[in-house]
Every structure is written in structure tokens, then in C-alpha cells.
Amino acid sequence: MRNIIILCLLWCGVAEGQCPVWTAVRAEHEMALLARQLSDWDRTYYQKGSSEVTDEHYDALEKKFHAWQGCFRPQSAVRQPELSTTGKVLHPVAHVGVKKLTDKHALERWMAGKQALWVQPKIDGVAVTLHYQHGSLVRMISRGNGLRGEDWTDKAKQIPSVPVTIPFKDDSLTLQGELFLLMDDHRQSAMGGVNARSIVAGAMRHKANPAVLQKLGVFIWAWPDGPEKMTERLSLLREAGFGLAADWSEPVSSADEVAAWRDRWFQQALPFVTDGVVIHGAPVAGAHWQPGENNWSVAWKYSPRKVSTEVRSVAFSVGRSGKLSVVLNLVPVQLDDKKVSRVSAGSLKSWRSADIVPGDQVIVSLAGQGIPRVDGVVWRVADRQPPEMPDPETFNVVSCLTYTPACREQFLSRLVWLSRPAVLSMTGISRSSWQRLIQAGKLTHLFSWQSLSEEQLARTEGITAHQANKLYHQFTLSQQQPFKRWVKALGVPVPDGALNAMKDDNWQTLLARTQQSWQQLPGIGEKLAGKIVAFLQHRQVQVLIDGLQGDRRPTLNVRSADN
């Protein structure tokens, strides 16, 4: 169940300096639209039993709204979720919910000074109250708004895992727990949530298939005014037919122990879907339980596979061949062990199709090899202000062979490319090395680094004498690379397969090739052959080749060179 957002979230955005630079009119408009969306999601979730957005994405947008309140309405009351208003049955003891902690450090702070703590899996299901009188079940009540819920007693009697009678004859005995979908060897790390909670909620709120009710279990996580010691509480719950709580409760005394159980249950085969762990301490008397007022237990959820975060800005990068790509700069978020602050939005076409502008809330996940990717947009700001973008017609496969400020991105991409192991194999030369040389005005064209002496390199700001020696050594060694490596370094658009099959070992032979002869090589059709010939005939390319044919140190007249 979603937890009521704590008051401090109201100030988080302000403290982090995230107040948008908006007019009062725009602020009211944006807040009104987001408040309406949150309310729609609340009604769907609490009243219809389904969810159109994950808890993590909802919480992120709720936090954003609270931050906006702190920026533009600091005196207004904190927005609260619109809980179900259909529930008419009063809970004998209110549901309090649990505060969610963000990391192990927060857990350490919460655990400090506390004793007799226990950890349990955080079952992903639907919270209920079971009310027994003189050993007989008289009510099952949905959580609702924490004070009142719906009467689910008739369906409870169709769920085999819910005891209709228990061996305790108290005048009134209240248990709180989670109705969940029974699973066979569910591994949360590999399988995720599998929509289990929605299945349970749908079965309880609507006309249920009896077969679904047969597959529901119940996990008791609270016994208001029950035995003081957890060991006794668990023993009696087992005696009453609620053995799962005893099977899946462990005493802990440190955050390290909690983390170990959390990781174990994340990987282990379990009979239920989980989304984290809950750490329990000693509760206060049931008469004092109120929604949102729980200081004796907390939750530490698993890192979600997908998170949502705000787009701070949109940037454009130019690859070595002149292709424009889009990068989203994000409010940093944690995904597994990675802190993600940038993510590719793909090509211009993909970005335009996705319609993402600064202020939007995007969903981010980790693709293969841990590379962040955008999976969608969960919220769009109303005032769409696309960033100014470069003209894609400016850049192409023969642009930016010389350096100009407007060419910085593509020129740098070309240099990074030619220093790669598969090209000129310049060991230890990084992107930042090239950036320092560009910044110092040492590079005018793609191969001008060849004319730099060790002394000139050593006089470059940010480069030490030792680094200058290494750079000069790598520049010198590059002269020994075979001819085909220099073809790649220049950026001639020949596929690797064709390059390997090619017998040419000098520029003269290469330039003598016709479009038809290029087509004789594997992977080169008529269209690509035409592009290769056009590239090699370009004036700037020919000037570079002239230099490389001599001593591989071409000289370009930068001022007269066009892009």
C-alpha cells in the first residue's frame, strides 16, 4: 500500500534548490494539472483497486508536487492522497502505514538506540483487518483510508488461508496483515512484481472467480495490543493458523543484518511477491494508532528496476560522422549501484517523437551492460518549451575536419575515434587529453597533433611534463600503424569487412578506385560506394590525404576550409 508522504518532503525540493523559474501564473497552472493527475490516480488506486502508475513513480511526482508547494505555496497545507471514501466499516484499530527509508544509512539512523527489532519481507498485496470476537471471525475490512474500509467478510470465508475460527476467546482480537497471491518459488530479483497485487485487489473489490480466492494467502504483520514479546506473538499466531509470520520473521540488531536478509529474500525463492523489507519495533497501545503516525516500524524497499526523475535540460551531441544525438540531463537518481544523471534520448527523430522537454518526468531503467535508457514519460509539464537545437544540415560525414568553435563536438568525436585501440591505438589518450589540446589552441585539423613537439605539449595548460612525454610517445608510435588504420582514422566510410578484404596499401591506389571497384568489396552496394567516392573527392579530405601521403603531417589552411 502507498504510504502517506511525510511532511519533510514539502521542503526537499526547496532545500535542493529545485524551485522552477516560473511566473506565478504558470506555477498555479502546472500545480493544478499535477494535482488533478495525482487525484485521478488516487481514485483509481484506492476506490477501484487498480494502479495506472507504480508506487515509485507516484511517490516521485507526489514529492515533486510537495516541492512546488514549498516554492510557490509555502503556507498551504500539504497535499494528502485522496483515500477511499466508500469504506463504511470502522476499523477496530486504525491502520498506520509505514515510513519508507531510502537507504542503509537512513536505516542505521532509525535503528540507533532501539532494541528488540525484527525484520520481515514486505509482502506486495492488499492490507486488511481481521477482527475476531470470542474466537470467531466477524469482519474482514479493507484498509480504505486507514480509519474505515469496505466489508470483505463474505469473501474472507471463501479464502482457505483465512481462519474462520481461532483458539483464542478474547472479547475482541484485531489482526492486521496482507492478502497476497500465493506463488511457487517466486524470485523477486528475476521475476519482479508480476502484477500480483492488482490480481488480489481485483478479486476482493469485484465479483471474484472462486479459483482466485483459493490462491490467496494472508501474512499477519501487526497484532495491536498483542503479546509484548515478538517470539510469543509469533508462536501464538502459528497456533491460530497464521504460520507464515513465524516462518518469515527474523531478529536483527544492526543495519548490516537487515541488509543481509533483504538481499537474501530478494534472491531467494519465496511463496509471495515482495517489494522490500519491514523492520518492526515495539508498538504503542492500539488506542493511539492513527494513519500516518507510526514511529515503531519502517520499510526499506528494493531498488526499483525503473525510476522516474525530472529532465533538467536537453543537450545535443554530434558524432564523428555528423549524426546528431540527444542527451537528457536529469535530476540524479539511483538505479541498482549506479547514480544516473544523464541518459540518451536517441536520434533527433526519436527525441521529437517522444516529445520530451525540460521539466518532464521520465522513466529510466538500465538496459544491457548497465546502460541507462528512457522507457517513457510519466508526466509532462504544461508549458512546452523545446530547447534550441543545432541545424542537422550543418553536420555530415565531411564536416568539421578542421576545428572551429561550432565544430567542437564533432571534431572532438573524430579525435576520440582515431585514438581508439582499433584505429591508431593511442594508449592512455582520453577524451580529456584531446579537450585540453583543443582548449589550448594546439589543434587546427584532424591530424595537426602530429606536428606537436614534446616541448609544446609540456607547455599546454593542464598537461604535466610526464603526460607530455606519454602523449608524444603515442603520437610517434601511431606512425607505425598500418595503412588501413589510417583509412579508418580519416573516417572513410568503408565497413570493416570491406577494409579487411581490401588489398590497397597506399593512398594513391585507394584514390584510384572507381565506384564500380568499391562495389566489388563485401558489404558495399551502389549507394555506399557513391558515398565513399564523394568523401574521398571532398577538398578538405584530399588536402589531408596529400599530407598523409607525404609524411603523414598534412597542413590545412583552416581559414579557407569549409565545413
| The domain boundary residue, chosen from 375, 392, 409 | 392
In our burial notation (b when 16+ CB lie closer than 10 A, e otherwise), range 443-466 reads bbbbbbbbbbebeebbebeebeee
Same domain, 290 and 333: no
Same domain, 39 and 167: no
Same domain, 65 and 173: no
Same domain, 476 and 545: yes
Same domain, 243 and 130: yes
Same domain, 367 and 516: no
Closest listed residue to residue 120, CA positions, set 282, 258, 248: 248
Residue 80 lies in a domain: no
pLDDT at residue number 286:
95
This model's pTM is above 0.85? no
Residue 64 lies in a domain: yes
Mean pLDDT of successive 10-residue stretches along the chain, which has 563 residues: 38 53 93 92 75 82 91 83 72 95 94 96 96 97 91 94 96 97 92 85 80 94 96 97 96 97 96 96 95 95 88 93 94 86 93 94 87 93 90 92 94 96 94 95 95 94 94 95 96 95 94 95 96 96 90 44 37
Cell numbers for 401, please give them.
Answer: 575536419
For residue 292, what is the DSSP state? T
Helices and strands counted in the chain (H then E): 23, 18
Identify whether 338 is a catalytic site residue. Answer: no
Q: Which domain holds residue 141?
A: 89-301
Angle (CA) 523-528-534 rounded to 5° is 140
pLDDT at residue number 381:
94
Distances (CA, A) of 82 to 54, 61, 102, 142, 146: 16, 15, 24, 16, 12
Same domain, 413 and 383: no
Q: What's the rounded Cα separation, in Å, for the pair 40 and 35? A: 9
Same domain, 401 and 543: yes
Same domain, 387 and 404: no
Same domain, 154 and 290: yes
pLDDT at residue number 554:
46
Query: Dihedrals φ, ψ of 399, to 5°?
Result: -85, 155
- Which helix (H) or strand (E) element contains residue 57? helix 55-72
pLDDT at residue number 97:
93
Tally of structural domains, the chain:
4
Distances (CA, A) of 52 to 84, 260, 293, 326, 393: 16, 32, 27, 29, 41
Residue 82 lies in a domain: no
Find the catalytic residue in 64, 100, 122, 488. Answer: 122
Q: Which residue has the cell 476499523?
A: 91
pLDDT at residue number 4:
37
Same domain, 321 and 358: yes
